[in-house]
Amino acid sequence: MTYRVNKKRVILFTTFALTFAVGALVLLPDRSSSRDYERVQAERLALLAKECSKEPRPSSAVYERILAQLARRFEIVDKYRVSNCMVLKAGFTAWNALLAYVLGRQDLIDGHQTYMMSRVLKGSTAKFSSINTSPDFTRFVVAREPLSRLLSAFRDRIDAAYETGAANRFIPLILTFTRGMGYKPTYDNGTKVMPSFEEFLRYIASVAPESHDPHWRPITLQCGACYVNYTLIAHAETLNEDLGYILRETGMEKDADYTILLYNSHKGRGNTSDLLENYYSTVGPPLMRKILAIYRKDFTMFGYDPSDFLKMYPDGSVVWNP
């Protein structure tokens, strides 16, 4: 008997198998490397503690108000004793897709609404205060290099090929600020008028950081860098390794489909880092200095240094002084 090989199926199966294998290797470092990884985490946490020691201490009343605000930004997964601050444009989609899978929310997966896990897993202020001091909980935040995160937010939320709620809300505001336009003139002869990246940054520099949209609000500001007892700091640049460690340490690995995390961590509109110089080359020194000031704590508290990038200003008009 002769069997006909379906080449397409073989290719698909092989691709899936390789993706799964690579995902397992990338996401879950072997235990022999745990000591090195824990040293990296100790350095990140020590840096955060050092920078936070420079900050003034709030009164108990102010601290309680801060905790109440932070409770709205945290997901709490009791089953695995893990909690995380919701940071948009820093692996949020990948993590929530995985949570939807391991917690059996097939309805959200089928409806492409895994972002709704943030509502499902939101706890009360009292519960958040409790887990913030619990020795049994893993508490983490995902940081991202600020200039990359800012550009990614612009490309995905403002300058996207499809209309987003953020675009409908902010494009008129940006154009009103930069060009004196109102909402109606955002269409010119049938063509939609879009703000440039430089106009986007000018608008951001004009608004108090506390009022920024979560997609580009400083992470230190929305995640209470100095008010949460973080046990782990992940970086978007090492996201697979960081989240893989979390999966293993929380016991989530036994229920996780690694390919979900690997697949969703590569979603987006291309590699933002490849486009940084192209977009930021339009930003003049005065505006760049304002942007650096807004995101200064995201740089210093999470260990990012823009010095190499600022070489694009060879006259020394913009320098980094941490």
Per-residue pLDDT reduced to its tens digit, 198-234: 999 999 999 999 999 999 999 999 999 999 999 999 9
Report the pLDDT value the prediction gives residue 165, as an integer from 0 to 100.
78
pLDDT digits (tens, 9 = 90+) for 128-176: 999 999 999 999 999 999 999 999 999 999 987 667 778 888 988 899 8
Report the 10 Å Cβ neighbour count for 215. 21
At residue 246, the 3 state secondary structure works out as: helix
Report the pLDDT value the prediction gives residue 2, as an integer from 0 to 100.
41
Residue 237, Cβ density class (10 Å: 0-12 exposed, 13-18 middle, ≥19 buried): middle
Which pairing describes strands 232-235 and 74-77: parallel, antiparallel, or unpaired?
unpaired
C-alpha span between 231 and 225 (Å, rounded):
12
Report the pLDDT value the prediction gives residue 166, as an integer from 0 to 100.
80
C-alpha span between 152 and 154 (Å, rounded):
5
Alpha-helix runs per DSSP H in 34-164: 34-52, 60-71, 92-102, 106-110, 117-120, 125-132, 146-153
Which DSSP category does 192 fall into?
E
C-alpha span between 43 and 13 (Å, rounded):
41
C-alpha span between 156 and 153 (Å, rounded):
5
Report the pLDDT value the prediction gives residue 256, as an integer from 0 to 100.
81
Both tokens of residue 203? 């608008």
Report the pLDDT value the prediction gives residue 33, as an integer from 0 to 100.
75
Listed by start position, the domains of the chain span 32-144+222-268, 148-216+273-304
C-alpha span between 246 and 232 (Å, rounded):
9
Triad 299, 215, 74: Cα angle to 5° = 85
At residue 191, the 3 state secondary structure works out as: strand
Give, in order, the Cα–Cα distances in Å from 226 to each of 42, 54, 80, 163, 316. 16, 10, 24, 36, 32
C-alpha span between 85 and 272 (Å, rounded):
23
Report the pLDDT value the prediction gives residue 193, as an integer from 0 to 100.
81
Low-confidence spans in the chain with pLDDT less than 70: 1-32, 161-162, 181-190, 258-273
At residue 303, the 3 state secondary structure works out as: coil
Report the pLDDT value the prediction gives residue 279, as an integer from 0 to 100.
94
Report the pLDDT value the prediction gives residue 26, as an integer from 0 to 100.
44
Rounded to 5, what percent of the chain is helix, strand, coil?
A: 60, 5, 35
